[in-house]
Amino acid sequence: MTTYIARRLLVFIPTLLVVAVLVFLMISLVPGDPVMEMLGMDAPPDAVAAKRIELGLDKPVWMRLGWWFGRALRGDLGRSYFLGEPVIQAVAERFPVTLSLSLFALLISMGLGVTAGIIASVKHGSAVDWGVMIVALLALSVPGFWLALNLIFLFAVHWRWFPIGGYVSLVQDPLQFVRHLTLPALSLGLVHAGVTARMTRSCMLEVLGSDYVRTARAKGLPEKVVIIRHALKSALIPIVTVIGISAGVLLGGSVIIETVYNLPGAGRLVVEGVQRRDYPVVQGGILFITCIYLGINLLVDILYAWLDPRIRYN
Amino acid sequence: MTLPTATGCEPNTVSRGRVRLSERRKTLNRLLRSRTLMIGLFITLALVVLSVGAPLFTHVDPTDMNMSMIMKPPSAQHPFGTDAFGRDLFSWVLYGGRISLLVGLSVAAVTTITGVVLGSLAGYYPRLDSVIMRAMDVLMAFPEILLALGIVAILGPRISNIIIALLITYTPRPARVLRGAFLSLKCEQFVDAARSVGVRDVRIILRHLLPNCVAPLLVQQTYILAIAILAEAGLSFLGVGVPPSFPSLGGALADARAQIRYAPWMSLYPGLYISLLVLGVNLLGDGLRDVLDPRMKV
């Protein structure tokens, strides 16, 4: 296991470094002068020149990359043009919102998706199976932000069960925290539950058709025991990989959902950065969220190898 | 029936040709019998006809503003109602569908080319494999919509730039599918046979390997079409996709968000159109997968 983790880390670190370089180069390739963006088109040439020297923009790209990289390793991702605060502080302040939303959505998508997938596989070929699969397909065809708008109209505008947007932290008021996050998490989680249901069903069907399940049935074990003790246990292993895939989908999806519900999360910060051309924020936000995504995938890979030892040896 | 020939090779060719023809006919029959595929094809084609033939179904210019008709509910004159600028939503949705289809089909077509080139090189030449696949891994290290957002931020909000951003974001998918198919196929005897009679690599790739990968690639690209349509709508919704002067479904939903209390129909129809289109394409993908690539069946 230690060798496997070491090998995974050896792949993880260079990937992280290349991602960081790509994010830096991405923003350095932006056409136009960021100084003119900051100071306005009619800024005096002296001020523009001074700002360029201050930001180090008079130096070649490779030199700036070196500086940026050195600072990034110390956790300094530069200052936001508009917020006037360090990017790392802005992202770190907002990330708990994104994390809460993603975790809440993951809970919904795994809870609903795994349950629906198991029911569909057990009732394979029946009307229930068809029903679940049709709903799952509908779920993954609907844009999350459109579902969000419909949920807002029904549950926040029409019935007024939930607030229309905004965020209250868990420490401030746990009940309001749940009330404010329910609709955003449903918008994100329901769409993803479709993918989870389809994957769970196919994993379960494969296991239910295997020899050892047939043996368990032949021994005369009750169907419930066969499904819960024998089939589900094995089928849940590949479902762990779904969590890894979900991390990217949910973290990425939160970018849009946070905008719909006016949630002060890291995703919305990146979107606002793009709209305002606040490049340090875009750079820092994308790098931060991608690092978290890579970290989650590393953990999932390790968990997967722990659950299924065959992975380590391949 | 075999015909006698001088070389003794032709009868075999004729019968092989027949086998291939009957196999093709069988596959075509199975495709035609697939209910999933047919429903998907019907929904997709119906929406394509509505959007491509938009001038036949509406004479209203989608960008025409009418300040006396602001946020009017659906009526005989405006079947989907009007928006905050008095624009006809029926016309906006039909013309907006054109942009969704344009972006979706362009991304699916161009990623097919990049995916085929990169995937076949990686799958066929072990030396190139690790370089290409590590590059694909780096692209896949980003959450997809975030990568597309970052690229659009650099290039600016234009339709061509959205296509470029989604092309970079989604190329790893077909490349991985093709590489996987090549890795298992290149060990087959027919490839060894071709190589042993001196067939060049390019010919082996184009004539012997690629035709055998059409099925999984076609299925994958159908799904790319669906996710590209969703991604374009998402980027336009965030205001970084299609410029506001063009009718786009994501843009319409962004406008609808501000008016959700007063004009819920503004979000209903554009969202319904995207959902139906993506549902149709997903059904098409599922149907193709069940017939052409049954191992992948969900």
Q: Range(s) for CATH 1.10.3720.10 in chain A? A: 94-313
Instruction: Decide if A290 and B141 are in contact by the 8 Å CB cutoff.
Output: yes
The confidence score (pLDDT) of residue A90 equals 94
Distance CA A66, CA A62 (A): 6
The confidence score (pLDDT) of residue B186 equals 86
Interface of A with B in 121-160 (CB under 8 A): 137-138, 140-143, 145-146, 149-150, 152-153, 157
Distance CA B36, CA B45 (A): 14
* Range A125-132 contact pairs with CB under 8 angstroms and sequence separation of 24 or more: A129/A201, A132/A197, A132/A201
Instruction: Decide if A26 and B261 are in contact by the 8 Å CB cutoff.
Output: no
Which pTM does this prediction carry? 0.88
Q: Which residues sit opposite A86 in a β-bridge?
A: A79
Instruction: Decide if B257 and A141 are in contact by the 8 Å CB cutoff.
Output: no
The confidence score (pLDDT) of residue A101 equals 95
Q: Which residues sit opposite B204 in a β-bridge?
A: none
Instruction: Decide if A26 and B151 are in contact by the 8 Å CB cutoff.
Output: yes
User: B69: which DSSP letter?
Assistant: G
Segment A60-115, tens digit of pLDDT? 888 888 888 888 888 888 888 788 899 999 999 999 999 999 999 999 999 999 89
CATH superfamily of A94-313: MetI-like (1.10.3720.10)
Residue A139 Cα to chain centre, angstroms: 18
Number of residues written out for chain B? 298
Query: Under DSSP, is residue A79 helix (H, G, I), strand (E, B) or coil?
Result: strand
8 A C-beta contact, residue B242 and residue B221: no
User: A31: which DSSP letter?
Assistant: S
Q: Which residues sit opposite B82 in a β-bridge?
A: B88
Which of B226, B263, B233, B266 is closest to B250 using CA atoms? B233
- Which residues of chain A register pLDDT less than 70? 30-34, 37, 311-314
Instruction: Decide if B283 and A137 are in contact by the 8 Å CB cutoff.
Output: yes
Interface of B with A in 251-270 (CB under 8 A): 253, 256-257, 260-261, 264, 267, 270
Which of B207, B166, B168, B214 is closest to B190 using CA atoms? B207
The confidence score (pLDDT) of residue B2 equals 41
The confidence score (pLDDT) of residue B9 equals 38
Segment B268-298, tens digit of pLDDT? 999 999 999 999 999 999 888 888 876 655 5
Of A137, A198, A252, the CB nearest to B145: A252
What interface predicted TM-score (ipTM) does this complex get? 0.86
Query: What are the chain A neighbours of B296 within 8 Å (beta carbons)?
Result: none
How wide is the angle at C-alpha A302 spanned by C-alphas A310 and A109, nearest 5°? 105
The confidence score (pLDDT) of residue A312 equals 66
Question: Chains A and B: how many Cβ contacts under 8 Å?
Answer: 129
Of B154, B239, B275, the CB nearest to A142: B275
- Which residues of chain B register pLDDT less than 70? 1-21, 294-298
Q: Is B133 on the interface with A (CB under 8 A)?
A: no
